[in-house]
Structure 1
Amino acid sequence: MDRTENEPPPTGPRRILIALYAIFALAATSRGIVQVSTTFHSAPLAYVLSLCSGIIYIGAAVGLLSERAWSRRLAWAACGTEMVGVLVIGTASLIDRAAFPHDTVWSRFGSGYGYFPVLLPVLGLLWLWYSRPAAQN
């Protein structure tokens, strides 16, 4: 279902999630672009992962914002990928600090961002689950 001009904009938890994902999309993507373009040689893995996390945040924000047929699938995929990424990268960055000489958005479960990177996919996935069409019937 496409949103029409007469439909009100998103409200409540969805609006908060969209705002948080948009902020993280801007922060992580900007950080990743700057790091990859200026100091890529010093920590290529960390910088590419930061850029990838930004792209995933963009996908989540678009998926949550849009009401097109594909948008919920995009939001599920982005939030699920983010959850796996933050858990894998968070764990790996604690186990093998040498592999992550510089932080990524997801290093140490997002400690550099107040642990929001580990909380955000949980909130996104919960909202997607509770707002699913089957739950509203």
Structure 2
Amino acid sequence: MTTEVSGAGPGGASGAGNEPGSGEAPGSGTRLVKGPGLLLLWLYGVMSVGAVSRSAYQIATEFDRAPLAYALSGVAALVYAFITYTLARGGQTARKVALACCAAELAGVLIVGTWTLVAPSAFPDATVWSDYGMGYLFIPVLLPVTGILWLRGGATRR
């Protein structure tokens, strides 16, 4: 079992995973939210709030108008929230889970984005991932790519 972002190490010291006495080897990449990772965490947090707010409102008030679109927005919101959680949690298990979720998110954006272009009648209203995230300045397609690069880079830095 590895030490997560914070906690007491073998010497009783408490602190981030890469600090002396934390039980992790220096440079092990336990902290996911340092440097550019902090910006990534912030962006996922903002997308979580936006997607959860939008989908909750749409599902609660207009679900019968575009059930597929609103359900997919709800799925996107859950994915963003879960990735935000795993990035904030840190640790090698969280890194692996976040990497898998970013890959699933990218697949979702590509599938839904293509679907909205091929069969626009299936989407009477936009989702977070419609047109590859055009309504969100293409952040939904850029964010998982950035996340994958960051998370994979951390694994090679170890």
Trace 1:1-137 onto structure 2 (pairs within 5 A): 1-4=3-6, 5-7=14-16, 10-132=33-155, 135-137=156-158
Cα deviation, residue 68, structure 1: 3.7
- Residue identity matched to 1:3: V
Cα deviation, residue 21, structure 1: 0.2
1:109-136 alpha-carbon deviations (Å, 9 max, x no partner): 000000000000000000011001xx12
Question: Could you list the runs of 4 or more consecutive aligned residues of structure 1 that deviate by over 6 angstroms after TM superposition?
Answer: none
Is the contact made by 2:86 and 2:98 (CA closer than 8 Å) also made in structure 1?
yes
Is the contact made by 2:99 and 2:152 (CA closer than 8 Å) also made in structure 1?
no
State the distance in 2 between where 1:68 and 1:6 align: 13
> Percent identity, aligned pairs only?
38
Is the contact made by 1:3 and 1:66 (CA closer than 8 Å) also made in structure 2?
yes
| Greater alpha carbon shift after TM alignment, 68-77 vs 26-35 | 68-77
State the distance in 2 between where 1:6 and 1:129 align: 24
Cα deviation, residue 69, structure 1: 4.6
Larger fraction in helix: 1
Cα deviation, residue 12, structure 1: 1.2
- Residue identity matched to 1:106: W
> Which segments of 5 or more consecutive residues in structure 1 lack a partner in the other structure?
none
Is the contact made by 1:59 and 1:74 (CA closer than 8 Å) also made in structure 2?
no
> Which segments of 5 or more consecutive residues in structure 2 lack a partner in the other structure?
7-13, 20-30
TM-score by length of 2: 0.80
1:25-75 alpha-carbon deviations (Å, 9 max, x no partner): 111011111101100000000000001101000111111111245311220
TM-score by length of 1: 0.92
Which of these two proteins has the greater Rg computed from alpha carbons?
A: 2
Task: Give the SS at the match of 2:64.
Answer: helix
